[in-house]
Structure 1
Amino acid sequence: MNKEKGNLSIHSENIFPIIKKWLYSDQDIFIRELISNACDAITKVKRLNSLGEADLRENADFQVKVVLDTTAKTLKFIDNGIGMTEEEVKKYINQIAFSGAEDFLQTYKDKGDIDQIIGHFGLGFYSSFMVAETVEIDTLSYKQDAIAVRWRCDGKTEFEMESSNKVTRGTEITLYLGEDGEDFLKEYTVKSTIEKYCSFMPYPIHFEVADKEPEKDEDGNIIIEEAKALNDVAPLYTKQPNTCTDEEYKEFYQKTFRDFQEPLFWIHLNMDYPFNLKGILYFPKLNTEFDTMEGRIKLYNNQVFVADNIKEVIPEFLLLLKGVIDCPDLPLNVSRSFLQNDGFTRKISDYITKKVADKLNSLFKSGREGFEKFWEDISPFIKYGILKDTKFYDKVESIILYKTTKQQYVTLEEYLENYGEKTNKQIYYVSDDVQQAQYIKMLQEHDLEAVILDHNIDSAFISHMEMKKNEISFKRVDSNVTELMKDKDQAADEEVSTKETEALTKVFNKILNKEDCKIQLESLKSQEVAGMIILAEESRRMQEMMKRYSMGGFNPNTIPTEEILVLNKKHPLVQYILKHAEEETEILNFIVHQVYDLAVMSHKPLSPEAMGNFIKRSNEIMKRLIVE
């Protein structure tokens, strides 16, 4: 063919600078686009062969090769696919590819943030100009007697076409990397980008560095290593679940997420109607603190990586998990706002939610003991899902487990069956079973049990449960003195009790140097407890939530909280204080401080200053006991 020069069928002289500016943050996607095109070319020629329209007796070992030459500053993408004739180059490169580029620019030129486009799909061949000063194509069609073609463009609107010396079917694209593409002269950058986007593409992808010094053995002989593809052409999620073993699931997890801790369990998604979706979701061993949880759901389209954790497609609470989801039917070259309001996308999200809920129910019903073993790891995820998704709540609320202070697991229904009548459908809980041991003991003396809710998410979770089930309420063990704890045989004279409360309030405020110490005098059944702190459930819960979600300079401690010191009228120390309330003695001072500090310590840690005084006072008391 004769050498030919011409102009690209575009109208924007500055199309390439605009592309570079808009897509700078995702510069590496050109690798995905060019390898995707290469795989498409192979698929097409295989299809033609199956129809008897192409002869593939030669060069039938289908693969994509990526070759880096750091000396020549080139990056090549080579396939043995369908190839192109001169006419096809003019059509698909000079016209369609660049008209597609113009369409893209026209559609999104007024959008404030190009990153809002999911995955930047559809960019195709022209994305190579983000990193290359010049792009060269050598291609030979599968058609008999086809002539190889070379196409060349330096990033402007002019191109050159001439005959090529290529002798094998397929296409070779050579990028002459410029300043913007210098990072892709690094072996690690190219290899890691291929692994990022192309781990599951359907044909083997090989990468080599042309000018790299070969490795040699001790005798100076060149070590020849067997070429290994960077990708898995048939990833586990594309197979039927009943053909996969537990070991294969674990191996896939460890390889894909580089996490060598085994997952707790997994869900294999496989749906063909009304949309095509495959994938595997893994439940990892989650961190204890909700703030540090970090999952990773990789979204693919026909085995081509799109993005991580797209919450418009994947239910937000599932982003705590790890997994791979491949959905060829998903519209990708659209904005996130479109996906948020897209009915098809919502169906995908609902399906995934349903499958997760079904799996959890299956595990609960088929093996309660095993379910209990990993409950601590999955409970934050389930609780978060309940808060975020009403449909998920409806499906799993009956299998939520609560760990009791006896280290047993019960459902809400089971707890209420055991204690609901005694507690008037109140569920007692502790947030720190060590700190609140005194309160736990008092409950257990009355054959009651508390559940442990010690996670950051639990405050919001129990408020949500109360809203859903308005006949129940959650009460922390230090939020009130229950009627069960009181000695009903000692009916107090109300007038006498009021005077005693006033006397105790006066002496505690004076000795503790407080003005707001609220005293509640009760005859408790327990002979061991002199005093205990209670804090109103509602105000404490509000304070906890504000501490967690407070913004700016807001101080959650400004929320008023009603902290009350409950004194046990039957305890000898309280009786001594009442008897000597009008006196000003050192022993009275000691007893008031000790009773108060011990009550606080069973509720929360003492301040550093208060703890120092408590230790000093305790040592003094013990010294006096020795002397006496």
Structure 2
Amino acid sequence: MSKEKGSLSIHSENIFPIIKKWLYSDHDIFIRELISNSCDAITKVKRLESFGEADLHGETDFFVKLILDSTARTLKFKDNGIGMTDDEVRKYINQIAFSGAEDFFNTYKDKGDKDQIIGHFGLGFYSAFMVADRVEIDTRSYRDESEPVKWSCDGGTEFEMEKGEKLNRGTEITLHLGEEGESFLNEYTVRSTIEKYCSFMPYPIYLEVADKEPQKDEEGNIIVEEPKALNDVDPLYLKQPNTCSDEDYKKFYNSTFKDFKEPLFWIHLNMDYPFNLKGILYFPKLSTEFDTLEGQIKLYNNQVFIANNIKEVIPEFLLLLKGVIDCPDLPLNVSRSFLQNDGSVKKISEYITKKVADKLNQLFKSDRQSYEKFWGDISPFVKFGSLKDEKFYKKVETIILYKTISDKYVTVEEYLTNLEGKLENQVYYVTDKVQQSQYIKLLQEHDIDAVILDHNIDSPFISLVESKKDNISFKRVDSDIADLLKDKDAETDDETNKKEDENVLSVFKKAINKEEIKIQIESLKSDDVAGMIILSENTRRMQDMMKMYGMSGLNMGAIPSEETLVLNKKHPLIQYVIEKSLEDTETLNLIAQQVYDLAMISHRALSPEDMSNFIKRSNEIMKHMIS
């Protein structure tokens, strides 16, 4: 063929600046696009061979190779795929691959949309111009009679095309990297980008550094290393679940997420109808509460990486997990608004949610012992999912566990059944076993168990459960004095007792001198505790909610404290106050203040000033004892 010059079939000379502008934030994507094109080219020629339309002469060694030459400032992409004839170059390159470039220009020239648009407009090859000042193509078609073609363009609308010198079938694209491609002269950058986007591409991908000093042994001989592919051409998630061992799943998890803690368990997704979806979701071992904020779910399209954690496809609460999902039915590059309004995306999301819920139910029913062992790690995920997705909650509500202070795991129904006749649809819980030990002890003396709810998510979660289950209420152990702890036989209503109570209240109000603290007197069955602080459940939850949403600094005083000091009339110290209540002595004052601080310490931490006063007063009381 004779040398040919011409203009690309677009109606605006501004097409390349627009490509660079809109794709700059993801400018490493050109590696994905060019490698994807190479893989497509190999797939096409293999398919033609299977139809008897191409003779590959027994060739089975297909590959994609990148050659980096930082000295020459070039990055080459080579494949032995279908190749192109000169007519195909004119059609697929010069006409920008059916991209509708004029529509693209009119759509994006005045807009601030940052969504990726490569692929959506067929501009995959042209992503090369984001980093290259000049791009060359050397290609030769699989057709025996075809001639090699050389094409080049410097990023304007002009191109040159002539007969090339390529001897073998396939395509070689050479990028002459400019200033915006400077970082891709670094081997590590290229390697890590390949691993990011192309880890599971279907053909082996190699990286060669042309100007790299060869390694030598002690005798000065060059060490020849066997080329090693950077990708896994047959990833585990594409295999049938019954062919995969536990070790296979663990190895895949470690290599994919660079996490060497073993996952708790996993779910292998394998669906062909009504949509094609494959993948593996892992429940990771969480080391801290902050780990639950975000996992990593990689979304692929035909083994081509799209993005991490696309919540339009993957339910938000599942983003706490780690996994790989490959869904060829999704377009490779589309806007978030498209995904939000696409009916098939919603079905995919619902399917994934259902499979996760099914797995949890199956584990609960078939191996509850393992399920209980995992519960501490998966409970934040299950609770978050319940809060975010009502359908998910309905599927898992009967398998939600609560760990008790006696180290047992129970459902809410089991908890109520165990305490039948003692409590009426009340679930007592603790948030701090040490801080609330005094209250726990009172309950244990009456064989009442409590569940442990010490995660940030528990406060909104129990509110959800209360709204879904009739007549069930959660109460923290220090939110109220249970009726069964009160000594009803000791309760009297005569004038003498009323007067005694009034005198005690007077002593304590004067000693504590805090208007916001309410005081009440009860006769408890146990005489071990002189005083307790209780706080209404509603007030506590409101305060917890404000803290959770970072509102604690706004005006916590706007919410009434409603803390109540409950004095146990049967305790010797309170009896002493009753007897001496008419005497205005320093001892009475010290006792009242000490009882209040001891009760407060079991409720929450004292302020620095109150703690100093408590320590000082404790020393004074001990001095009185020896004087």
Q: 3-state SS of the aligned residue for 2:317?
A: helix
Over 3 Å counting, the alpha-carbon distance change for 1:511 and 1:291 in structure 2 is farther
**Distance in 2 between the 1:360 and 1:473 partners?**
25
Tell me the residue number matched to 1:97. Answer: 97
Over 3 Å counting, the alpha-carbon distance change for 1:233 and 1:524 in structure 2 is same
Superposed CA offset, 1:433-461 (max 9, x none):
11111111111111211111010000000
- Are 1:134 and 2:134 an aligned pair? yes
In structure 2, what residue type is equivalent to 1:574?
I
Over 3 Å counting, the alpha-carbon distance change for 1:483 and 1:51 in structure 2 is same
Q: 3-state SS of the aligned residue for 2:488?
A: coil
Superposition pairs of residues 381-530 of structure 1, within 5 angstroms? 381-493=381-493, 495-530=495-530
Quick check: 1:63–1:204 contact (8 Å CA) kept in 2? yes
Superposed CA offset, 1:320-372 (max 9, x none):
00000000001343321222222211100110001000100111111111111
Q: CA deviation at 1:232?
A: 0.2
**Distance in 1 between the 2:419 and 2:39 partners?**
64
**Distance in 2 between the 1:612 and 1:443 partners?**
31
Q: CA deviation at 1:86?
A: 0.7
Q: 3-state SS of the aligned residue for 1:555?
A: helix
Quick check: 1:504–1:519 contact (8 Å CA) kept in 2? no
Tell me the residue number matched to 2:4. Answer: 4
Tell me the residue number matched to 1:576. Answer: 576
Quick check: 1:290–1:456 contact (8 Å CA) kept in 2? no
In structure 1, what residue type is equivalent to 2:355?
K
Quick check: 1:509–1:516 contact (8 Å CA) kept in 2? no
Tell me the residue number matched to 1:295. Answer: 295
Q: 3-state SS of the aligned residue for 1:546?
A: helix
**Distance in 2 between the 1:375 and 1:111 partners?**
48
Tell me the residue number matched to 2:621. Answer: 621
Tell me the residue number matched to 2:365. Answer: 365
- Are 1:24 and 2:24 an aligned pair? yes
**Distance in 1 between the 2:495 and 2:572 partners?**
21
**Distance in 1 between the 2:574 and 2:552 partners?**
44
Q: 3-state SS of the aligned residue for 1:126?
A: helix
**Distance in 2 between the 1:125 and 1:108 partners?**
19
- Are 1:238 and 2:238 an aligned pair? yes
Over 3 Å counting, the alpha-carbon distance change for 1:185 and 1:495 in structure 2 is farther
Superposition pairs of residues 150-169 of structure 1, within 5 angstroms? 150-169=150-169
Q: Larger deviation: 328-337 or 78-87?
A: 328-337
**Distance in 1 between the 2:503 and 2:174 partners?**
92
Q: 3-state SS of the aligned residue for 1:369?
A: helix
Superposition pairs of residues 546-557 of structure 1, within 5 angstroms? 546-551=546-551, 554-557=554-557
**Distance in 2 between the 1:561 and 1:222 partners?**
78
Q: CA deviation at 1:581?
A: 2.5
Superposed CA offset, 1:497-518 (max 9, x none):
5444433333223222322321
**Distance in 2 between the 1:3 and 1:559 partners?**
82
**Distance in 2 between the 1:4 and 1:351 partners?**
54
Tell me the residue number matched to 2:260. Answer: 260
- Are 1:46 and 2:49 an aligned pair? no
Quick check: 2:64–2:78 contact (8 Å CA) kept in 1? yes
Quick check: 1:402–1:409 contact (8 Å CA) kept in 2? yes
Q: 3-state SS of the aligned residue for 1:211?
A: coil
**Distance in 2 between the 1:374 and 1:505 partners?**
50
- Are 1:304 and 2:343 an aligned pair? no
Quick check: 2:23–2:116 contact (8 Å CA) kept in 1? no
Quick check: 2:140–2:167 contact (8 Å CA) kept in 1? yes
Q: Larger deviation: 505-514 or 341-350?
A: 505-514
**Distance in 1 between the 2:501 and 2:54 partners?**
99
Q: 3-state SS of the aligned residue for 1:225?
A: coil
Quick check: 2:507–2:588 contact (8 Å CA) kept in 1? no
Q: 3-state SS of the aligned residue for 1:305?
A: strand
- Are 1:194 and 2:198 an aligned pair? no
RMSD of aligned residue pairs (Cα, Å): 1.8
Quick check: 1:101–1:126 contact (8 Å CA) kept in 2? no
- Are 1:353 and 2:353 an aligned pair? yes
**Distance in 2 between the 1:117 and 1:534 partners?**
59
- Are 1:314 and 2:311 an aligned pair? no
In structure 1, what residue type is equivalent to 2:341?
N
Q: Larger deviation: 549-558 or 344-353?
A: 549-558
Quick check: 1:534–1:564 contact (8 Å CA) kept in 2? yes
Tell me the residue number matched to 2:585. Answer: 585
Over 3 Å counting, the alpha-carbon distance change for 1:288 and 1:15 in structure 2 is same
**Distance in 1 between the 2:527 and 2:119 partners?**
68
Tell me the residue number matched to 1:558. Answer: 558
**Distance in 1 between the 2:102 and 2:308 partners?**
28
Superposed CA offset, 1:287-315 (max 9, x none):
44257532000000000000000000000
Quick check: 2:302–2:328 contact (8 Å CA) kept in 1? yes
**Distance in 2 between the 1:427 and 1:288 partners?**
27
Tell me the residue number matched to 2:602. Answer: 602
**Distance in 2 between the 1:489 and 1:155 partners?**
94
**Distance in 2 between the 1:200 and 1:18 partners?**
31
Q: Larger deviation: 590-599 or 578-587?
A: 578-587
Over 3 Å counting, the alpha-carbon distance change for 1:208 and 1:495 in structure 2 is farther
Over 3 Å counting, the alpha-carbon distance change for 1:516 and 1:427 in structure 2 is same
Quick check: 1:286–1:293 contact (8 Å CA) kept in 2? no
Quick check: 1:520–1:567 contact (8 Å CA) kept in 2? yes
Q: 3-state SS of the aligned residue for 2:419?
A: helix
Q: Larger deviation: 107-116 or 161-170?
A: 107-116
Over 3 Å counting, the alpha-carbon distance change for 1:368 and 1:99 in structure 2 is closer
Q: 3-state SS of the aligned residue for 2:97?
A: helix
**Distance in 2 between the 1:335 and 1:58 partners?**
42
**Distance in 2 between the 1:121 and 1:99 partners?**
5
Instruction: Please give the TM-score of this superposition, normalised by the length of structure 2.
Output: 0.97
Q: Quick one: percent identity of the two aligned structures?
A: 74
In structure 2, what residue type is equivalent to 1:399?
I
Quick check: 2:141–2:148 contact (8 Å CA) kept in 1? yes
**Distance in 1 between the 2:555 and 2:415 partners?**
37
Q: Which runs of 5+ in 2 are unaligned?
A: none
Over 3 Å counting, the alpha-carbon distance change for 1:431 and 1:120 in structure 2 is farther
Over 3 Å counting, the alpha-carbon distance change for 1:400 and 1:477 in structure 2 is same
Quick check: 1:505–1:518 contact (8 Å CA) kept in 2? no
Tell me the residue number matched to 1:270. Answer: 270
Over 3 Å counting, the alpha-carbon distance change for 1:488 and 1:252 in structure 2 is same
Q: CA deviation at 1:111?
A: 4.3
Tell me the residue number matched to 2:218. Answer: 218
Quick check: 1:534–1:566 contact (8 Å CA) kept in 2? yes
Q: CA deviation at 1:92?
A: 0.7
Superposed CA offset, 1:121-141 (max 9, x none):
843101110000000000001
**Distance in 1 between the 2:325 and 2:502 partners?**
67
**Distance in 1 between the 2:588 and 2:43 partners?**
91
**Distance in 2 between the 1:536 and 1:30 partners?**
60
Q: 3-state SS of the aligned residue for 1:360?
A: helix
Q: Larger deviation: 496-505 or 241-250?
A: 496-505
In structure 2, what residue type is equivalent to 1:357?
A
State the aligned residue count.
Answer: 627
Over 3 Å counting, the alpha-carbon distance change for 1:81 and 1:429 in structure 2 is same
Superposed CA offset, 1:56-98 (max 9, x none):
1275410000011000000100000000011111111001427
Over 3 Å counting, the alpha-carbon distance change for 1:117 and 1:454 in structure 2 is farther
**Distance in 1 between the 2:295 and 2:102 partners?**
37
Tell me the residue number matched to 1:175. Answer: 175
**Distance in 2 between the 1:155 and 1:549 partners?**
50
Tell me the residue number matched to 2:247. Answer: 247
Quick check: 2:27–2:131 contact (8 Å CA) kept in 1? yes
